[in-house]
């Protein structure tokens, strides 16, 4: 029976490239001189630091610009408010959202059921598997999910006949 998985994954290689490009730009730009602006990856997400609050927001803008240029969706990132950091600096912690949360997965399954397509959807940890008898039905389900506004970035993997 044909099937595919709906996932929300982040391309970490592209994120690393964007981080490197952003760090290089921050070290070369005149308005970031003597601001000790850095962007780096942490265990939980990303960290942006600078001496002043407006500079840390500008550094976050540079990082977002680099991510967009590398075709990484900003829907995966949830920046928090600037807060005091070490050595009299300001920092912004950016949480990374990967995988489909339970509530969003239920919403996705309900969308598939409401579409009246002859496919079934089932939640599997942080992904949703959609199965059907015909390949055309699965392709219609992909088109329907692409047009849906869920607030998360979706990828379609493991398409099997």
Residue 15: pLDDT band with limits 50, 70, 90 = very high
For the whole model, what pTM was predicted?
0.85
In angstroms, rounded to a whole number, what is the distance separating the alpha carbons of residues 54 and 71?
26
Count CB neighbours of 102 within 10 A: 11
In angstroms, rounded to a whole number, what is the distance separating the alpha carbons of residues 158 and 132?
14
Give the pLDDT of residue 59: 94
Distances (CA, A) of 153 to 21, 32, 74, 94, 119: 23, 32, 9, 17, 21
Give the pLDDT of residue 159: 85
Q: Which CATH number applies to 12-96: 3.30.70.990, 2.60.120.10, 3.40.50.720, 3.30.420.40?
A: 3.30.70.990
Mean pLDDT of 27-31: 91
Taking alpha carbons only, the member of 68, 90, 65, 64 closest to residue 78 is 64
Same fold, 3-8+100-160 and 12-96: yes
């Amino acid at each position: 029976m044909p099937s595919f998985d709906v996932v929300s994954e982040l391309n970490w290689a592209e994120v690393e490239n964007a981080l490197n490009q952003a760090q290089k730009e921050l070290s070369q730009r005149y308005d970031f001189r003597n601001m000790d602006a850095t962007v780096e990856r942490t265990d939980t997400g990303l960290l942006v630091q600078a001496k002043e609050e407006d500079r840390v927001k500008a550094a976050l803008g540079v990082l977002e610009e680099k991510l967009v240029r590398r075709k990484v969706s900003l829907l995966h990132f949830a920046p928090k408010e600037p807060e005091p950091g070490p050595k009299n600096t300001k920092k912004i912690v950016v949480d990374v959202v990967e995988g489909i949360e339970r509530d969003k997965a239920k919403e996705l399954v309900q969308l598939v059921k409401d579409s009246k397509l002859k496919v079934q959807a089932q939640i599997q940890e942080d992904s949703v598997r959609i199965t059907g008898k015909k390949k055309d039905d699965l392709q219609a389900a992909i088109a329907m999910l692409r047009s849906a506004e869920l607030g998360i970035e979706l990828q379609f993997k493991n398409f099997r006949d």
